[in-house]
Chain A
């Protein structure tokens, strides 16, 4: 199984093809230029994620260790989500009954999210979980695991 790890917390040693550690790598922010759709289709003006994109698309599974920030995904992880836009087409399909971008690639990896940090209420936890699920639904990835990092088990990987 080919794995990619995205992390901003946790030190698990997991066999994988690629690690993007957001604590040591500052991902450049999306500048909203749409070059990845309209000028250089599929390519971002920033080149800092090129290796990551290749590894992400090649992976069977991507494990994200997310640090809960004020009850939501951190600014760093949100920037990474913003930068996923080149992996999808500008065109919009309505076949699910709502607007969705058309995939650019044939397949996308399965996602598991393990989060660290507390939520002030169950309501806020639900918003975080719903947001993660929605995002990877839009990204055409199966995402069935959104759990606290304490429930991560190396044996199950």
Chain B
């Protein structure tokens, strides 16, 4: 089984998607090849993919779907001429609930069928926006799950159902949880603190509410 992992992040090697991929392949005895959509000619990559039995596309969630560059790659792909090929996806999002990725998940499952591949499934993980700047210690559990996912994939050619479900939790926010989060949002706590810290680092905190393209500011 020859597997290709495609990194669909516009940030290539410097983003959270790369962290997901590195952990996923760290669980394998023979790590598979990785290609970066952002660095490749899309037509050439679409042709190159054909050599592999299994393709896993990992990407960040952008506006409830794949980044534009990934859709542009998809537009270059042709349905597989012979059967037996497999395609799966790994999606990581900033929003914490995995249900935010459901539009993309639904599309990826029908797209895979259209491309004459067998659908392996979509591993979804929310709350991953700040991953690349968090201390490794905070991501210990996630990394372990991703490595186990990779290990299982190498052995069985599938995404482990239990780990996939764990990663996708929470699917939605409970009433209590969203109330609590909204309360802390109003107080300027929670993720507000994360954004403000980074705005401050960039000397942009005072301009955070700027409306450069609004009518009221044109005067």
Contacts and interface: CB of A to CB of B under 8 A. Distances in A.
A57 B75 contact: no
A127 B110 contact: yes
B181 to A, nearest CB: 4
A98 B211 contact: no
A42 B63 contact: no
A78 B66 contact: yes
Contact of A98 (B70, B71, B172, B191): B172
A131 interface: yes
Contacts of A73: 65, 71
A30 B198 contact: no
B207 interface: yes
Binding site secondary structure of chain A: mixed
| Chain A interface size range | 35 or more
A61 to B, nearest CB: 16
Contact of A74 (B64, B75, B110): B75
Interface in A83-120: 84-85, 87, 89-95, 97-99, 104-106, 120
Given A30-B67, A41-B208, A127 B195 contact: no
A58 B215 contact: yes
A142 interface: no
A102 to B, nearest CB: 9
Contacts of A33: 11
Contacts of B110: 71, 120-121, 123-124, 127
Interface in B1-56: 9-11, 15
A147 interface: no
9 contacts: A37-B199, A41-B204, A57-B213, A72-B107, A78-B65, A79-B72, A82-B62, A105-B213, A127-B106
Interface of B: 9-11, 15, 60, 62-75, 95-97, 99-100, 103, 106-107, 110-111, 114, 172-173, 175, 178-179, 181-182, 185, 191-192, 195, 198-199, 202, 204, 207-216, 218
Interface of A: 29-34, 37-43, 50, 53-54, 56-58, 69-76, 78-82, 84-85, 87, 89-95, 97-99, 104-106, 120-121, 123-124, 127, 130-131, 134-135, 138
